Amino acid sequence: MTPTEHWLGRLIAHPTVSADSNLSLIDELEQALTAVGADCIRFPDQSGQKAALLARLGPDVPGGLMLSGHVDVVPAAGQDWTVPPFELTRRGGRLFGRGTTDMKGFVAAMLALAARAPVLSRPLWLAISYDEEVGCIGVRPLLAAVAGRNIRPDLVVVGEPTSMRLGLGHKGKLAFTVTAKGEARHSSEAPLALNALHLAGDFMAAMRTLQDELAAHGPSEQGYSVPYATVHVGRLIGGTVVNLVPDSAELLMELRLLAADDPAALTSRLRDLADQLAAPHRTRFPTAALTVTETGGYPGLSTPHGAAVDAFAACLPPGTAACKLSYGTEAGLFARSLGVPVVVCGPGDMAQGHRPDEYIEASQLAVCDTALDAALARFCLASDPAID
């Protein structure tokens, strides 16, 4: 078992589902990193039950390399596992357990790298967050502190699973709750009421039209499976019994945006459409409304090639392809907060994450270890005019 595989087993043994505390794991990581000479800072949440961790090896000077990963995982309850989800199991070249791919495999590689790092001339930063799976929550206070201290590494690598391809972009996300307000009445007199579900349905129809418009006339960026912004309604809630016209309904929706899209303009567009749909009903039903409330999201990522990115690309196996990712990550937040180049690159394939019998190939961890050793030498051991 390699040091990275050993660390992966220790990480998997902590069932850090987003709904639960992660403090036992953070305690273990802080102790281990302090033992190898790292300076560590915790960033607890308001409940005191979770914390992010920032560790630095080497001098506190500008430049160097920052590696980032989250340690929260999606639930395993209710899934049909053939191995214990919170115990590392090896079958041939595959390592099974919740979080092996998303994304404790990369975090294990980060920790193993820290343990074998020699004396550094530039800093190696390790950023470990929580609640990424429920909205990139835990990294935000950490990033605020990093930006406030003017910490500016030459490159940030967010190790979400890319099969060790070089991820240079992903879409941003805006999430919304849309509340429809109608007027109730017995269904025998339904035309005399305002059905909130019908009002919500009108809004959904408008979203389909908006999607067609964005596909035909909005910004486009090649490299994505869907090269334009997407509009998606994922849940509609309303009504109690069939013989009562519902006076309220709620739908949950999201936008997935390209870097060229204007989030504020699209949010304003949603609200304008909602008001236009509700306004004609207010003559008969003064309280008629469609209210659009933004509930979360994160920025996208679009990283151009440059000296630091190309220096990291040279650490990957020859012929490694660049890619754009269909899923979101914390990388856009790093880019927006720090103003430095950020890439997404980590072991494993997201197709194996969020599912029963999640696994990662041991060979992927080996490729990651080799790449991180090369990156450490390039960014943290010697002055390199290519990235200065």
CA–CA dist 151, 160 (Å, integer)? 22
In terms of Cα–Cα distance, which of 369, 321, 308, 324 is closest to 152? 308
Is 183 labeled as catalytic in the residue annotation?
no
Q: HSE of 12 in the Cβ direction (CA atoms, 13 Å)?
A: 29
Strand ranges (DSSP E) for 243-370?
244-245, 248-257, 289-298, 301-302, 322-325, 342-344, 359-361
Tell me which amino acid residue 136 is.
Answer: C
Helix, strand, coil % in the chain, rounded to nearest 5: 35, 25, 40
Q: Cis ω on the peptide bond leading into residue 66 (within 30° of 0)?
A: no
Is 39 labeled as catalytic in the residue annotation?
no
Catalytic residue selected from 30, 102, 131, 132: 132
Catalytic residue selected from 72, 154, 160, 183: 72
57-78 burial code (b ≥16 CB/10 A, e <16):
bbeeeebbbbbbbbbbbbebee
Distances (CA, A) of 151 to 32, 129, 333: 23, 17, 15
Start-end of H helices in 138-194:
139-148
CA–CA dist 193, 186 (Å, integer)? 8
Active site residues: 72, 132
